[in-house]
Structure formats: structure tokens, C-alpha cells
Amino acid sequence: RVLPGRALIAPGGRHMLLRRDGANYHVDVFDGPLVNRHRPSVDVLFRSVARHAGANALGIIMTGMGDDGAAGLLEMRKAGARTVAQDEDSCVVYGMPKEAVKRGGVEKSVPLKAIDREILQQLGVR
């Protein structure tokens, strides 16, 4: 079950999906084919977040190679979620955030050191 203060990380070699059960969100971990050459794939997670959480979600994409997550983040944004990317200057590799920005999935880009403040601001926590 997704709970405040709990971080859930997909294990290597398995995808992670969000699902809703009434007023609660749950995460399922499963085997599946590679997506964008990855397992776990950020797109798999983000697409499930768009489908089940929509405007109740905040998506953040950070430094990384390739384009995994860009399509899913765009789906999240179209579903009403708030979306943030790590800015180019603070990325080790500006691949994933760059592709998400290019596709229109990012509302705001911020430096790595400001992501924590951005999360709190987006969630209305001061």
C-alpha cells in the first residue's frame, strides 16, 4: 500500500505499477517484457500513475540516459498531474529529462538541489 513517508523502489528486473482500490493506492511488482529496453521501466510506472491517480499525482524525472519515462510523464501531464524535470545544468546525463521536455511532458524544470522544495511546494507543504 502507498502510504505517506514510505518510499517504494522497483526491484531490478521487475516492473512496478500503481493501482487504486477505493480510496487507497497500491503498488504491484511484476515480471514482464522489456519496455524501452528496460525492466523496470519508468514509462510503465508513469502510465499506470496517469491512469489511476491522474491529477492526484506529481511526476518527477531526473538525470538518466535515453528516453524511458518521457512518454509516461506526458501521459501524466495530460491526465492532470503536475510534472517536474531536473534541469540540464544539474544533470549528469540530460537524456531522460531532455526528452520529456521535448515531448511537452514537463511543466517546470528545476536544479537538483531545488527538487525537494519543489515537491513540498507542489504538494502545498511549506
pLDDT tens across the length of the chain (126 residues): 999 889 999 999 999 999 999 999 999 999 999 998 999 999 999 999 999 999 999 999 999 999 999 999 999 999 999 999 999 999 999 999 999 999 999 999 999 999 999 999 988 886
User: Whole-model pTM?
Assistant: 0.94
Is 126 a domain residue? Answer: no
- Total number of domains in the chain: 1
Is 121 a domain residue? Answer: no
Inter-residue contact 49 to 78 (CB < 8 Å): no
Domain of 87, in residue numbers: 15-114
| Residue 95, amino acid | G
Inter-residue contact 76 to 43 (CB < 8 Å): no
The CATH number covering residue 92 comes to 3.40.50.180
58: its cell numbers: 506529481
